[in-house]
Structure formats: structure tokens, C-alpha cells
Structure 1
Amino acid sequence: MKTPEIQKYRVDKWLWAARFFKTRSLATDAVTAGHIHLNGERPKPARDLKVGDMLRIQVPHGEFEVEVLALSDQRGSGEKARSLYRETPESMVKREQAALEKQLAPQFDHPLAKGRPTKKWRRQLHLLERG
């Protein structure tokens, strides 16, 4: 009698399939850098995932705390990716609060200071520096 083969799913592949990262190498780098926590621990990229595991994922667009609902190592549509996990309500509230704080934070950048300064803006900067 043949035993069914149990498929193993790596953390970095799952993160890529769940569309938290654009490439597998970015997902691997994030795991290695410690931006991913699996059940409260820092995993290695090749660590196996199980259904029910809790992941804390820190990405530039927010921090997510998710429960693994399904396993996949193939990247699909966004709808399929969202079916792989469930975000905790506390995580949603934290992300919304962080977005609101960022929106309400004062902006100190000059609206014309994007990129290289113009000649006029450079003259104004020199006037401010001199006095």
C-alpha cells in the first residue's frame, strides 16, 4: 500500500504566492532579514508552513498579522491569493490607524522640491542660507 505524499510548502514561496511580495527573492530576503515571524519566531526561508500557522509580516505598505488558511506555492490571481490567509481584526485596525496617522502627519517637503531643484528654487535656497 502506497502512502500519500505530503507536500511541503516553504514560507518564502507561500509569501510570494499570497502576493505579499512581488518576487520570490524579495520574499526570501524579507524572511532572512527578520521581517517575517512564524508563530512568534524568526523562521528560515525554507521553513515549512502548516494550515493554522500565524504569520506577522512587515512590508513597506504595512504590517500584517495573518492566519494561514490554505497552502500554495503557485502565484495566482489576487482573489486566489486572499483565500490563502485571513488577517486578524487587530491587524486591520492597526493598519487603518497607521494610515490615518500618516495622512494627518505634517508634510515638510516643499511642493516644488521633487527631483533636482530649479534655478529659481536654488537661488531662494542660497538667500536663506546667507541670511
Structure 2
Amino acid sequence: MENVATPESATSRVDSWTWAVRLFKTRSAAASACRGGHVRVNGATAKPAQPVKAGDEVRIRSAGTERIVTVTRTITKRVGAPVAVECYTDHTPPPPPRELFAALPVRDRGAGRPTKRERREIDRLRGF
């Protein structure tokens, strides 16, 4: 494979690698996540240019969930999904079952805005 890093360049930038293995849609989104402190490499927050190598643990926090992957191969160019999956091992725990989340009450369509009395009842249910 021409996109796999050679032994003399066995590291790549964390923003480039996370984009290349399709953990982010764009490289700028990967760099922004790094700058925002949402990407950690081996437990430490990562800047976009921080190098990653095989064996490093990368944690990505996005959309309220944390993705935990271990680098198996470093690549610098974006590749297809089947090849990208071979470059990391996913250790992300499964999401909790939906039954654990409380169902939010839903108003009927076309019912309009809640009245003052209904709003107070809703606030009481929410614990405000």
C-alpha cells in the first residue's frame, strides 16, 4: 500500500491521522477538535501537530460520546473505509441502552404553545 507510512516515517500528525482513518469528515474539523481539547493521545490533550505512532491510544470526544481507538498503522493520506478500519483498533464501549433514558413528553402536533398552567406542570415534572 502506498498510503501506509514507511518505517523511517512511522509517525504522522494526529489531526492528519484521525482525518485519514475517517474519524473526522475534514482535516480542519480534526484540527479544530484538537485545538478545543477534544482529542487526547495517551491521556494527554493533543495539539494538531502532535505525532502519533503505532500503539498510541487516541480518545476523541464528540457529540457527547467518547471514541477510544488504538493506532495499529500510521497513514498520511485519506483512504477508503475498508482500509481505514485496518489502521486502528476500536475500544469504544457500547452505548447504554435506550431504555435507561427518560422519554421526553411530546406535545401533539398543532396543539399550539403551552398555556401558563401547562408550562408550570412541565417545569414541575422537569424539577425546576
- TM norm. shorter chain > 0.5: yes
Q: Partners of 2:72 and 2:12 in 1: how far apart?
A: 13
Determine whether 1:22 maps to 2:25.
yes
For the pair 1:122 / 2:109, whether they are aligned, the reply is no
The alignment partner of 1:122 has SS state of coil
CA deviation profile, 1:25-71 (whole Å, cap 9, x unmatched): 11111111111111111111011111111111212273122110011
2:45 to 42, 47, 69: 42
Aligned sequence identity (%)? 30
RMSD: 2.6
Residues 72, 129 of structure 1: CA spacing in aligned structure 2 closer, same or farther, 3 A cutoff? Answer: closer
Residue ranges of structure 2 left out of the alignment (5+ in a row): 1-5, 122-128
User: Which structure is higher in RCO with an 8 Å CA cutoff and minimum separation 6?
Assistant: 2
Gaps of 5+ in 1: none
Query: What SS is found at the alignment partner of 2:68?
Result: strand
**1:1-131 equivalences in 2 (<5 Å):** 6-7=8-9, 8-60=11-63, 62-88=65-91, 91=92, 94=93, 96=94, 98-100=95-97, 103-104=98-99, 105-110=101-106, 112=108, 118=110, 121-122=111-112, 125-126=114-115, 128-129=118-119
Between the aligned partners of 2:107 and 2:26, the Cα distance in structure 1 is 33
Query: Across the two proteins, how many residue pairs are aligned to each other?
Result: 113
Q: After alignment, is 5-14 or 27-36 more displaced?
A: 5-14
Cα distance in 2, alignment partners of residues 108 and 57 from structure 1: 28
